[in-house]
Structure 1
């Protein structure tokens, strides 16, 4: 991801536009531009603001990542020109981020047919009514279904964008942007622990003990809960399962270890991150990043740049 095009609709929601600017517009290695079907025409935003895009749809033809800004209201149709530009971009390998109600924009192109996307519960029914070929997942805050990335709400847009940045530029780059925005280093994409202080304390403990056995039985004992109660409260607080949460944290820790220490062996990185073997770490890296841990370090470790 070296080239990002932010595509504006006829009206924009300014928060999500600002998230794109902060996450993708900040790194100096990313060529960032704002485009629309009608370049040079101001696009209204809430609060009396207006955004004037400098680029047209031709900008999508060179973008590695296209970020769709949500319109002021969900849309059922998009113009043929926008649909054609998005189809062409995806066909040549571009990725698309559609946060919040921008998922409606992407669904209207037909590109999401047969796929499952993250959707806020308040609009899931309308989305599946309008686009029955698209499946809505309201249990997570964002979903990585490469080349399509969707988030369920405005707040989750930040988590999704940092995830995409980490996926292509490494955890250190995402952490640097996150620190500039005062995002906690270990913040999970779906973390909502303020509603359950007990689960919040459990997550803090688990983060410091990723190299240990973190089975559901161990975590239930640590939280003084039954397995069933832990599973229920964990999903209510985080939107996911203990297994998925721990796996995400371990992969992130392995990313950081490989980036920080070019001399650390893959076996040692796997053990420190809590994986039972280097083979298991390789399996998850291949699935998540499309490369081995060694290839990941070659791309993102400072000594390799």
Structure 2
């Protein structure tokens, strides 16, 4: 029997707690796992969604756990000294340590994530990287398994990680059984990048009219010289001002805008892939596939299926 302890911190994300509870604590798993939910101060633990969760067990549960799971919580303050020490002791005796979503903010101050590649929700990845510069935060990964340390991206990515844990412990068949019970795919293609909203930095007032002009002509062939001509500057001068104001080159900005429009068309229309490529100025379906794969880690067909539930 594999003992899983889920550490619930104040203002826990209820969904993040529900995922390991549903995977490891379900009656179907009673021959594989035992589950204990614990908290630093037993009693009612508030959640981020307005209700409290009753937890009767304290940190002593971590002393016998084979796996420790930390669901996400907010705000992302470091836990108190007793919690950090309990986590360090669990890891030192060989327990597997798992963070779901922003649970990484509880593991990071222990030092256990130093030098490791780690996942968290894409909205919080920059904060985690800034607060803990020795942690290698990957904002695109759905989940990461780095030896005895595992981490997942936001919310539903915790399901992917927990199914992976079952696969690691008991094999592919067991993981597929769990996935079927939870009505999810045993494997998800692509990474977190396909769900990111990455707005392109807006230009300052001086460049705004030219950028707005370009956005109405994405299907047309446009060069930096065309943009510069509209702005009334020499191409090199225009490019220098553009980088200074947006942090990116005119060509990269234009490609990013075309990809944003392509994603919008894939989400909201049934246009064939080649027409999406043509309407956004990306040229061919092959070029759209290449650029979308670099941007989101997935294909136009899979991206559309994700957001529309259909194929073109």
**Do they superpose with TM above 0.5?**
yes
Matches of 1:146 and 1:122, distance apart in 2: 25
Corresponding residue of 2:221: none
Aligned residues: 211
| Distance 1:189-1:68 versus aligned 2 partners, 3 A rule | farther
> Of 66, 69, 72, which aligns to 1:70?
72
Note if contact 1:191-1:239 (Cα within 8 Å) is conserved in structure 2.
no
Corresponding residue of 1:15: 15
Matches of 2:57 and 2:64, distance apart in 1: 12
Give the SS at the match of 1:10. coil
Note if contact 2:121-2:155 (Cα within 8 Å) is conserved in structure 1.
no
Residues 116-135 of structure 1 aligned to structure 2 (within 5 Å): 116-135=117-136
Matches of 1:128 and 1:192, distance apart in 2: 17
Residues 242-261 of structure 1 aligned to structure 2 (within 5 Å): none
Deviation at 1:239, TM superposition (A): 6.1
Corresponding residue of 2:55: 53
Deviation at 1:133, TM superposition (A): 1.3
Give the SS at the match of 1:101. helix
Deviation at 1:101, TM superposition (A): 0.8
Corresponding residue of 2:153: 152
Give the SS at the match of 1:154. coil
Deviation larger for 121-130 or 231-240: 231-240
Matches of 1:189 and 1:56, distance apart in 2: 38
Corresponding residue of 1:3: 3
Deviation at 1:187, TM superposition (A): 3.6
> Of 293, 296, 307, which aligns to 1:234?
293
| Distance 1:38-1:152 versus aligned 2 partners, 3 A rule | same
Note if contact 2:141-2:193 (Cα within 8 Å) is conserved in structure 1.
no
Deviations, residues 104-127 of structure 1 (Å, cap 9, x unaligned)? 111021111121211333222221
Deviation at 1:192, TM superposition (A): 8.1
Residue 37 (1) aligns with residue 11 (2): no
Corresponding residue of 1:263: none
TM-score normalised by the chain length of structure 2: 0.61
Matches of 2:114 and 2:186, distance apart in 1: 35
| Distance 1:14-1:136 versus aligned 2 partners, 3 A rule | same
Q: Which runs of 4+ in 1 moved over 6 A?
A: 191-197
TM-score normalised by the chain length of structure 1: 0.63
Deviations, residues 196-236 of structure 1 (Å, cap 9, x unaligned)? 69xxxxxxxxxxxxxxxxxxxxxxxxxx965x764433344
Matches of 1:97 and 1:189, distance apart in 2: 21
Matches of 1:163 and 1:38, distance apart in 2: 30
Residue 109 (1) aligns with residue 110 (2): yes
Matches of 1:171 and 1:148, distance apart in 2: 20
Note if contact 1:4-1:67 (Cα within 8 Å) is conserved in structure 2.
yes
| RMSD (CA atoms) | 2.5
Give the SS at the match of 1:149. strand
Deviations, residues 154-178 of structure 1 (Å, cap 9, x unaligned)? 1211111111111112111111111
Matches of 1:176 and 1:38, distance apart in 2: 35
| Distance 1:33-1:234 versus aligned 2 partners, 3 A rule | same
Matches of 1:192 and 1:78, distance apart in 2: 29
Matches of 1:128 and 1:191, distance apart in 2: 17
Q: Which has the larger radius of gyration?
A: 2
| Distance 1:192-1:123 versus aligned 2 partners, 3 A rule | closer
Matches of 1:32 and 1:55, distance apart in 2: 12
Give the SS at the match of 2:5. strand
Corresponding residue of 2:309: none
Give the SS at the match of 2:160. helix
